[in-house]
Structure 1
Amino acid sequence: MAAHAQGPVSIIPVRTKTDKREFVELAFRLNRGDPAWVPPLRSEAFDLLTPGKNPWFEHGRAQLFLARRDGRTVGRISAHIDELALAQPAGQGMGPGTGNWGLLEAEDEGIAQALLARAEAWLRDQGMTRSLGPLSISIWDEPGLLVEGFDTPPTIMLGHNSALYRPWVEGAGYRPVKTLLNYKVPIADGFPPIVNRIVAAGEKNERIRIRRVDKRRFDAEARLIMGILNDAWSDNWGFVPLTDSEIAFVGKKLKALVFEDLIRVAELDGEPVAFMIVLPNINELLIDMDGSLLPFGWARLLWWLRKPKSRTLRVPLMGVVKKLQNSRMASTLAFMMIEFIRRDGVATYGAEYGDIGWVLDDNQGMIAVARAIEATENRVYRIYDKVLA
């Protein structure tokens, strides 16, 4: 990143559409030279930040800031507060007094620390006593600062940032509070024999049914899956429940990427108790589109969506209802869903790798599943906090 150390830096709140456009465009300018950065679609970047578009704003409020020097925009940050996060138990990572920051981009360390200080001041003015981040904007979007795995592009729904940011954030007095792990696993040749034995035994168990989702019943299936998710993840660090409108928003955003053979629901004695969502990695397409579907991006995207070929398949979400967690049945269901989707992913989509995460560093059950299928860590994210004196 080029340093332009001329005049003083001023931090201004985003007020106008022009300001918001500068906020979005800065990420493109600062990251364009990074071959591992995947430009988001600008329309989605704007929607994330816009009340009325992103239902997070129904229970959250945010202030965006720009850093300017000599008439140029040289940095950005968001400061935000989620009322649902404030209502969570303090021992679970969020809780009363905890505000957030995210979407940090800066040309140099001085700018980054000035932005962090301004975000902290806003949070303090709102009555917050702790600053936790980065979250962009919710825990369900792109949480954490990338601290390992800078050399390869992220898959869909994972963030990417400059390696410079970690020392800048830590230099501003932030300490790590949670590590998020992402795993990569070769899938073309199948999994180790022990996994295959567990799957084979599960297939003979008449109590178990692993079914594909029915896209004709998309809204009902989305509600079912997110209901399991809200139960399965409710004790996890950082958990904030998804609202009905957020579930509908995510469903609408991902509907084009939903393929029935890549999403499974596990039923035990006729009751839905687990799910696994797998998405083709559209980032393989977006990395060359510079955030725009014009002039020919629409055609490329629509052609790809008709029958996507995806070298990597991404597992952003899976869950087992709380009452089954840490049981042998939970492991069986997880391995069955993973294997059934692996078979279709290789045969239909030409997939060679699975990408799983993020996984909390204390989620022993999921880490054990990852190790059993011989997955290896390929990206590590970290969430930090700081007491606001």
Structure 2
Amino acid sequence: MIQIFPVHDKAQLKSFIDFPHDLYKGDPFYVPELFIAQRDLLSRHPFLKHSEMQLFLAMDGKKLVGRIAAILNNNHNRFNGTNEGFFGFLDAVDNIDVFKALTDAALAWLKEKGVHSVIGPVNPSTNETCGMLVEGFDSAPMIMMTYNRPYYNTYMQQLGFGKKTDLLAYLLQRDDLNDKSMRLMESLKQRLAQKGITIRKGNLKNFRQEVDGLRKVYNEAWDKNLGFVPMTDEEFDYMAKDMKLVLDPDFCLVAEHEGKAIGFVLAMPDINQVQRKVKRGRLLPTGIFKLLFGRKKINAIRIIALGITEPYRKMGIEAVFYGMVMKSGLEKGMQQAEASWILEDNEMMNRGIQHINGKVYKKYRLYEKAL
């Protein structure tokens, strides 16, 4: 019989974090999350200052067989004028009864909070990892992307969860790139300069001021995306601090108009290529060295974010961003780039990636269910 237990102490939290390592043992595409990062995300992240999250474990006798989080994102509901709940961090063995017990527990907790529908998976919001893999099970996820086995989707549909939207991941191969953006880059930069718009590399030496400018762009440029909720100052700072550890300024570009940030693109080396080898996500005793010395062998990047504030779109800034990132990637010997995630109905972004020969190679789904 499947029993569900809420997580209340450090030992249970450790079990919650470690469960996927056992579930995916031997899977060549599984990438363990770093224990320290997951512990902080689930127990002391700034998200928890404005919202609520309850973690649950599923037990079959003495055996741990699944986990889930029920999430009430108060900022999301305030910003979007909605009354929605979320679920996330869902992992379970290949058994529909376990999925039902877990989702029933999360939905019951959310129903008590008075929400009318539930969306997920988000971990714990669309500002972090989200989506359930529905296509592209033949390769490992890139940095800050999710992974699961095909049976997850079968069971979600059988339990009455419907598709809300799909999130697309495009693969750009070195030998297939359309280099038009690179060829037009200099002339586009000159044309933008005549309008007072310049594009530069991110400034890690003045990181504090840089983050302040990019936060404003992020909260303006993404405000119409499905599921978007502005990050608080603390949330953005938290994310930026984490990213700085693997940030390469050649892949972080800022567009400015008369000194004011109006757009940015952020790509990051695919640290997952190294993190796959960090046993159970522990940095000690050897994991830290694998991360430090393995970075030089990384041959792929992920374009995580590209945003431009409303008045400056369709001026060629996007093309310059792509051109500069492509040029830096080729110079550094990168063989692949992933552009993700992009909403399936974001026509402008999808056309832009397709124009440089990007091909959809993974799809992630957000499910929803009325309560």
How does the TM-score come out when normalised to structure 1? Answer: 0.91
Question: Could you tell me how far apart the structure 1 residues matched to 2:200 and 2:284 are?
Answer: 38
Partner of 1:287: 276
Task: Rate the CA distance shift 1:197–1:282 in 2: closer, same or farther, 3 A.
Answer: closer
**Identical columns (%):** 30
The residue correspondences of 1:131-280 to structure 2 (distance < 5 A) are 131-187=118-174, 190-193=177-180, 195-205=181-191, 206-207=193-194, 208-280=197-269
Question: 1:302 and 2:292 equivalent?
Answer: yes
Superposed CA offset, 1:224-261 (max 9, x none):
11211110000111111011001110111111111211
The answer for unaligned runs of 5 or more in structure 2 is none
Q: Distance in 2 between matches of 1:58 and 1:174?
A: 29
2:299 paired residue number? 311
Alpha-carbon distance in structure 2 between the residues aligned to 1:141 and 1:375: 23
Counterpart check, 1:370 vs 2:353: yes
| AA in 1 matched with 2:12 | D
In structure 2, the residue corresponding to 1:234 is in which secondary structure? coil
Counterpart contact for 1:192–1:372, Cα < 8 Å:
no
Q: How many residues align?
A: 366
Picking from 327, 331, 338, the partner of 1:347 is 331
Partner residue, 1:356: 339
Shift of residue 190 of structure 1? 5.0
Matched, 1:54 2:45: yes
For 2:58, the equivalent position in structure 1 comes to: 67
Aligned with residue 97 of structure 2, among 92, 99, 110: 110
Whole-Å separation in 1 of the counterparts to 2:162 and 2:87: 14
Q: Aligned pair 1:86/2:90, yes or no?
A: no
* Unpaired segments ≥5 residues, structure 1: 1-7, 90-94
> Does the 8 Å contact 2:277/2:290 carry over to 1?
no
CA contact under 8 A between 2:182 and 2:324: conserved in structure 1? no
Mapped partners of 2:207, 2:260: distance in 1: 18
Aligned to 2:320: 336
Residues 269 and 44 (structure 1 numbering): CA distance in 2 closer, same or farther, change over 3 Å? Answer: same
Alpha-carbon separation, structure 2, partners of 1:58 and 1:217: 28
Residues 169 and 362 in structure 2, CA contact (< 8 A), matched pair in contact too: yes
Amino acid at match of 1:12: F
The residue matched to 1:191 in structure 2 has which SS? Answer: coil
Query: Aligned partners of 2:96, 2:157: CA distance in 1, in Å?
Result: 11
Could you tell me how far apart the structure 1 residues matched to 2:6 and 2:325 are? 46
Cα RMSD, aligned residues only: 1.5
- The residue number in structure 2 matching 1:25 is 18
CA deviations over 1:62-81 (Å, ceiling 9, x no partner): 11111111111111110010
Q: Which amino acid aligns with 2:213?
A: L
Q: Distance in 1 between matches of 2:116 and 2:37?
A: 31
**Shift in Å, 1:140:** 1.2
After superposition, the Cα gap between the structure-2 partners of 1:343 and 1:188, relative to the gap in structure 1 and judged at 3 Å, is farther
Provide the residue aligned with 1:380 in structure 2.
Answer: 363
Deviation at 1:22, TM superposition (A): 1.1
How far apart are 1:24 and its partner, in Å?
1.1
Q: TM-score, normalised by structure 2?
A: 0.95
Counterpart for residue 84 of structure 2: 98
Q: Which residue does 1:119 correspond to in 2?
A: 106
